Amino acid sequence: MLYEQELKTFVEGTTNFFEVAAQQAATIGSPYLMEGSPAVHEYTGVINISGKREGVVYFTAPKAMLTVLLMKMQEHDFSHETMRDLVGEVANTISGNARRDFGRDFVISVPSVLSGEKPDVPKRPGVRSFIIPINWRSHSAKLVVSLT
Amino acid sequence: MIFGGRQQTNGKARRSLKLMIVDDSNIMRRRIERSQQFDELELVGTAGNGVEALELFQKTDPDVVTMDLTMPRMDGIECIGRLVALKPSIRILVISALADKATAVEAMEKGANGFLNKPFTDRQLNEAIAELMR
């Protein structure tokens, strides 16, 4: 059972990045539950969690959103590597927030980054994932929390 | 990556402190470089991990360092300890997404002089650097 406060920590870690780095807040869409993992966008930042909870949390975003986010950050390099770098930084912020709020009950990995049309996102058979749409400007990304 | 020499103003060398930026993210390295607004800071180079930072230190002898913590090859905590051992007067600002108090305390115990959480605004960065140089 995932507690509301735990979800809130992951969501705030994500929205905080947009609010501070791009100076423009993101909004949260209606969260929903689904069995397994949802389809991902072109770039995905993943953190693995063990300890009190087991599973993965990832932020997946389309290239178009990341491009605009980079522009808002005054960045001029929109290469594939920079997109990977950016999604990794978002995951890094989510990870940092979780470490602050959960302390040693959670063991949180260094973020890894996946990219491409069909990246190998960790599958969690039988585990229902929370999917939280992250809307920013005209774009939408997903925060996926898949923990037991 | 090593950057150019001392800046000149009206033919005279401007007194400067040498800055080294250490972060495994290209975006963050460029962001810090672009956002810091101190004329007296001269960027002498950037490094993507602790090993590169130590190599760069030997070549450029920086006075002020911004240091990420989570990096491959050698993390920021170990690198801070090594830099302080080499140059006790060095001023180190940790810039990290690791937002927990225990990490900040560990960095300070190793010899860091300030701690700034990612993400950060330009204002927060410049205030943190100003505090570091005070």
Confidence of residue B14 (pLDDT cuts 50, 70, 90): low
Q: Does A109 touch chain B (CB under 8 A)?
A: no
Give the helix/strand (H/E) hosting A11. Answer: helix A4-21
pLDDT value at residue A53: 86
Which of the 8 DSSP states describes residue B55? H
Which amino acid is located at A124 in the chain? Answer: R
Q: Does A9 touch chain B (CB under 8 A)?
A: no
pLDDT value at residue A109: 86
Interface test with A, best of B29, B73, B100 (most A CBs within 10 A): B100
Confidence of residue A148 (pLDDT cuts 50, 70, 90): confident
CB contact burial A39-56 (16+ within 10 A = b; e otherwise): ebbbbbbbbbbeeebebb
pLDDT tens digits, one per residue of B81-126 = 999 999 999 999 999 998 788 889 999 999 999 999 999 999 999 9
Q: Does B119 touch chain A (CB under 8 A)?
A: yes
Confidence of residue B11 (pLDDT cuts 50, 70, 90): very low
Inter-chain CB proximity A93 and B96 less than 8 Å: no
Inter-chain CB proximity B70 and A110 less than 8 Å: yes
Q: How far is A5 from chain B (nearest CA, A)?
A: 17
| Nearest C-alpha in B relative to A71 | B27
Q: How far is A99 from chain B (nearest CA, A)?
A: 6
pLDDT tens digits, one per residue of A38-82 = 889 999 999 999 988 889 999 999 999 999 999 999 999 999 999
Q: Is the pLDDT of residue B21 over 50?
A: yes
pLDDT value at residue B134: 83
Domains of chain B: 14-133 (3.40.50.2300)
Q: Does A116 touch chain B (CB under 8 A)?
A: no
Interface of B with A in 37-76 (CB under 8 A): 70
Q: How many CB pairs under 8 A join A and B?
A: 56
**Nearest of A140, A145, A137 to residue A22 by alpha carbon:** A137
pLDDT value at residue A145: 93
| Nearest C-alpha in B relative to A108 | B98
Inter-chain CB proximity B103 and A73 less than 8 Å: no
CA max distance for chain A = 43
Interatomic CA distance for residues B47 and A142, integer angstroms: 32
Confidence of residue B8 (pLDDT cuts 50, 70, 90): very low
Q: How far is B54 from chain A (nearest CA, A)?
A: 22
Write the class of the CATH domain A4-147.
alpha beta
Q: Are A143 and A131 in contact (CB under 8 A)?
A: yes
Residue that the structure tokens 């990304």 belong to? A141
**Nearest of B50, B48, B40 to residue B13 by alpha carbon:** B40
pLDDT value at residue A120: 74
Interatomic CA distance for residues B115 and B112, integer angstroms: 8
Interface test with A, best of B26, B27, B30, B49 (most A CBs within 10 A): B27
| Nearest C-alpha in A relative to B104 | A100
- Token pair listed for A51: 């300890």
Which amino acid is located at B69 in the chain? Answer: L
pTM of the model: 0.89
pLDDT value at residue B15: 56
pLDDT value at residue A2: 63
Q: How would you class A68 by CB atoms within 10 Å of its CB: exposed for 0-12, middle for 13-18, buried for 19 or more?
A: middle
Q: Are A122 and A36 in contact (CB under 8 A)?
A: no
pLDDT tens digits, one per residue of A104-145 = 778 888 899 999 866 777 777 778 899 999 999 999 999 999
pLDDT tens digits, one per residue of B47-63 = 999 999 999 999 999 99
Interatomic CA distance for residues A2 and A15, integer angstroms: 19
**Nearest of B83, B87, B89 to residue B67 by alpha carbon:** B83
* Chain B residues whose beta carbon lies within 8 Å of the beta carbon of residue A73: 27, 31
> HSE (CB half, 13 Å, CA atoms) of A77?
15
**End-to-end CA distance of chain A, in Å?**
7
Q: Does A79 touch chain B (CB under 8 A)?
A: no
Q: What is the mean pLDDT of residues B3-8?
A: 54
